[in-house]
Structure 1
Amino acid sequence: MRPMNFKRIFWGYIFILLEIHLFVVDILPEPIGYYLIFSGIAAVPVENRIGNKLKKLLIGLIIISIPTVFIQQNATGNEFGSSVGTSLLDYYTSLLEILKLILVFFVFQLIMEVVKATNDDFLARRSAQTFKIYMTVMLLITLSHTFAMNLSTNIMAGYLFFTIPVGLIMEIMFLVLLWKLHKHEGLNNWSDTFNGHFQ
C-alpha cells in the first residue's frame, strides 16, 4: 500500500481551496476536504512523527472547519450587520488561514520524505523548491493580512489586487506538484521501499 494517496490529497485540497455557496451551504465543504487529505495519509505508519502530527491536525481541522459549510469566509460587515460579528469572523478566518499553512507545511514534509525514496533527484529538487517558494510567499501573505485590516479602502483594494493572484499562483503550484506526484510511476511501484523508509 502506498503511504500517501496523492490523488485524494489533491481533491481534498480542491475542496479546501474552492468556496462555492449554493444559497447558504458550501457545496464543496472544507471538512470533507480535510477528511480526504486524512484518508490520503492514513497508510503512513504510526512510527512517523510528522504523519502523526498531521493526522491530529487534520482531525482538529475537520471539526473546526464545520462552520465554513454555512459561513462565507469573505463576508463583509454589512452581511453580518455588526462589527462584533465581523470581528469574530475575521479572527476565525485568520485562525483557519494559519492552520491551513501549518497543514501544507506538514504535507510538504511528508512529500519530501516520500520523494527521497524514489532516488529521483529532479523530483526531489522540484519538491524542495516548490516548498520554499510556497511557504515563503504564503507566510508573508498570511502575516500581512493582520496589518491589512487597518488599511484604507483604496490601499486595501491595491493590496488585494496584488495578493489574491499571487496566492492563487502558489496554490496552483502546489496542486500541480500533487498531481505530478500522483502520476509518478516510481511512487506507484516502490511501496515496500516507502514503508521501510517511513519506519
Structure 2
Amino acid sequence: MNQAFNRIFWGYLFVLIEIHIIVIDILADPVGYYLIFSGITMLLKNFPIAHKARKLSFALIFISIPSVFIQQNAGINQLEQLSFLSGWSLYMIVLDLVKLILVFYIFQLIMTIVHKHADDGLLWIVLITIIISFIMEIVFLILLWSLRKVHHES
C-alpha cells in the first residue's frame, strides 16, 4: 500500500506543478495521471471501491494531453486575452470538473482504507478535508457565476 500511495502522491505533484520549457510542460499531466492510475490499480485487489477512480484516472491520461502544450496557470495578462467561453476555457472547466470527481473517488477510497484500519484520527482529518474542499468548490462556482455579469470594455 505504501508504494501505491507513493505513486498517487507523485502523480498529483506532477499534475500540480507546471514547469514549461519553451511550450512543453516537462512535468506532464498525463504522466501524473498515469502514476495515479498505476497507484490506484495496485489498490484495486484489496479495495474494489477504487474501480471508479481507476477508470477516471485512465481517462484523464488522455483528456489531459493538450495541457502539456499550453500553460494552465496563466498570468492575469494572458487571462484577459481569453474569452470566458473560448474552447480552451471550456476545456479547462471540463478538465477541472473531471479532476474534482477523481478527487472525490480517491477520498472514498481513503475513507474505506481508514475504516478498514480503524484509525479514527485519520478519519476526522479526511472528513474535515472533504468538507473544506467541498466548500472551496462551491465558492469557486459562485465566483464563476458572478463573473458572467462582467462586461469587457475596450
Structure-2-length-normalised TM-score: 0.82
Tell me the number of residue pairs that the alignment of Structure 1 and Structure 2 aligns. 147
Unaligned runs of 5+ in 2: none
Pick 1 or 2: higher relative contact order, CA cutoff 8 A, min separation 6.
1
- The equivalent residue for 2:50 is 51
Name the aligned partner's letter for residue 45 of structure 2.
Answer: P
C-alpha displacement of 1:65:
0.4
Cα shift at 1:150: 4.6
Query: In the alignment, which residue of structure 2 is the partner of 1:8?
Result: 7
Q: Following the alignment from structure 2 to structure 1, what is the Cα–Cα distance between the partners of residues 102 and 3?
A: 15
Deviation (angstroms), 1:41: 1.0
Contact 2:29–2:65, Cα closer than 8 Å, also in 1: yes
Q: What 5-or-longer segments of structure 1 have no aligned partner?
A: 154-199
Letter in 2 for 1:34: Y
Task: Please name the residue that 1:98 is paired with.
Answer: 97
In 1, the alpha carbon distance for the partners of 2:28 and 2:52 equals 23
Distance 2:14 2:148 in 1: 26
What is the root-mean-square deviation in Å for CA atoms of aligned residues? 2.5
Q: CA deviation at 1:52?
A: 1.4
**TM-score (structure 1 length as normaliser):** 0.65
Deviations 1:61-98 (A, max 9, x none): 110100111012234464x7xx59x7011100111111
Equivalent residue, structure 1, for 2:24: 25
Cα distance per residue 1:146-182 (max 9 Å; x no partner): 54255367xxxxxxxxxxxxxxxxxxxxxxxxxxxxx
For residues 116 and 142 of structure 2, the distance between their equivalents in structure 1, rounded to whole angstroms, comes to: 34
Letter paired with 1:107: I
Taking the aligned partners of 1:11 and 1:59, their CA distance within structure 2 comes to 16
Question: What's 1:122 paired with?
Answer: 121
Looking at structure 2, the residues matched to 146 and 66 of structure 1 have their Cα atoms a distance apart, in angstroms, of 28
Pairing 1:148–2:135 present: no
Q: Distance in 2 between matches of 1:127 and 1:9?
A: 16
Question: How far apart, in 2, do the equivalents of 1:3 and 1:121 lie?
Answer: 20
Summarize deviations over 1:85-117 as a string: whole Å, max 9, x none: x70111001111111111110110000100112
CA contact (8 A) 2:47 2:109 kept: no
Are 2:114 and 2:123, in contact at CA under 8 Å, matched by a contact in 1? yes
Q: Which residue of 1 aligns with 2:107?
A: 108
The 4+ residue runs of structure 1 with deviation greater than 4 A are none
Shift of 1:144: 2.9
